[in-house]
Amino acid sequence: MTVSDPVVEAVVATIGRSATEIRQGLIGRRGTVAEENPSGETQAEADVWADEVLGDRIAGIDGVGQYASEERATVVDCGDDPASSAAYAVAVDPLDGSSNLKSNNTMGTIFGVYDAALPARGDTLVAAGFVLYGPITTMVIATDETVTEYELSGGERTVIERDLTLPADPVVYGFGGRVPDWPDDFREYAREIESELKLRYGGALIGDVNQVLTYGGTFGYPALESRPEGKLRLQFEGNPIGYVVERAGGRSSNGTQSLLAVEPDALHERTPLHVGTDALIDRLEATLA
C-alpha cells in the first residue's frame, strides 16, 4: 500500500527504508556528544547520526522544499521554493526518546509533511507518522484519508492494520513531568484518570502514544509550574502526533484547543500535549478551564 501523493510517498518510503539502518546503527552510539540541541538538551551520538541520515536523504527528494529537525537550529532549504504549492516541508524528530538508549528501552522517529513553510500550523499537514523501535519495528502513517499501521522489515512495509482507529473504550493512560511540578488543575484531572485507567508510561512519546492507539485512553505531557510552555516541540512532536491521533478518531489539545489549530511563533516552540479518546480530552479541557 502506498500514499497517493508521490512526493509524500517518497518521504514515507525513505523514512521506512532508513528505519532498519537507524535501528541497527544505534549499536555503539549510546553515548552523548559535547553539544546541545536547539532546545538545550544534551544530544546522544545516535541523535546526531539519525538526523544526518534522514536529513541527507529527505532533502534529496524532488518536491521537498524544506527539511527541519529537532537537532538543528534552523530550517534547511532543499532547493525548491517552500512557498510553491509543489514543495512540501518535512519536520522530523529523528530519535524520539533517545534518553532511553542508556537503559535500552523504546524509542522512535516522528515526522510530519507540511504543505506550508516552517514553522507551520498543524492543519497544514498532509501526512504525519512515526516509526516505533519496539520488539518489532512498526510504522504508523496518517493522511487525510486514513491511518495505517505497518511492520517494517528490510525497508519493506507490510500492512498490519488499515483504517486504524482508537478503541472506543479507554484502557490506559500516561502523564509526563514530575508530579510535584503539575499545576493544581491538572493534578485534579490526573487523580480522576488514575482511578479509572491503567498506567502505561515508558518515557518515550512514541511508545506512550502507541499504547493509546492500541488500547484507547490518553497520554499527556502537561504545562508544568516550572515550564508553563510545556516540554514537547510543536513542529516536530505536537503537530505530527496530534494529526495521527485526530485522524484515528481521537482528539489532541494543548489544554485549550486542538494542537493543529495553534499558530506557531518559532521553529522550536514548545507546547503542552494531550492526546486520546474524545471524552477524556473533553474532560481535560473542562477541568483546565
* Residue 246, pLDDT above cutoff 90: yes
* Spatial contact of 104 and 235, defined as CB atoms under 8 Å apart: no
Last residue of some domain: 118, 133, 161? 161
Does 153 or 252 have the greater pLDDT score? 252
Report the CATH number that the domain containing residue 212 is assigned in CATH: 3.40.190.80
Q: Cα–Cα distance between 66 and 241 in angstroms, integer?
A: 20
Q: Cα–Cα distance between 134 and 216 in angstroms, integer?
A: 19
Report the CATH number that the domain containing residue 153 is assigned in CATH: 3.30.540.10
125 and 40: one domain?
A: yes
Sequence ranges of the binding site: 70, 93, 95-99, 201, 231, 237
Give the 3-state secondary structure percentages of the chain, helix then strand then coil, rounded to 5.
35, 30, 40
User: Quick check: pTM over 0.85?
Assistant: yes
DSSP 8-state symbol, 149: E
* Domain enclosing residue 184, as ranges: 172-288
Cell of 126: 498532509
13 and 148: one domain?
A: yes
Q: Cα–Cα distance between 238 and 162 in angstroms, integer?
A: 23
Sequence ranges of the binding site for Mg(2+): 70, 93, 95-96, 237
108 and 178: one domain?
A: no
For 227-237, what is the mean pLDDT?
97
The per-residue pLDDT for range 258-274, each reduced to its tens digit, is 999 999 999 999 999 99
Write down the H helix ranges in 163-238.
184-194, 205-215
User: How sure is the predictor about 203, in pLDDT bands with cuts at 50, 70 and 90?
Assistant: confident
Cell of 278: 474524545
* Spatial contact of 241 and 219, defined as CB atoms under 8 Å apart: no
Sequence ranges of the binding site for substrate: 96-99, 201, 231
* Residue 180, pLDDT above cutoff 80: yes
Confirm whether 193 is domain-assigned.
yes
Confirm whether 166 is domain-assigned.
no
Q: Cα–Cα distance between 230 and 177 in angstroms, integer?
A: 9
22 and 137: one domain?
A: yes
Domains in the chain, number: 2
Percent of the chain with pLDDT over 90: 79
* Spatial contact of 175 and 222, defined as CB atoms under 8 Å apart: yes
Residue in the block written with cell 497544514: 124
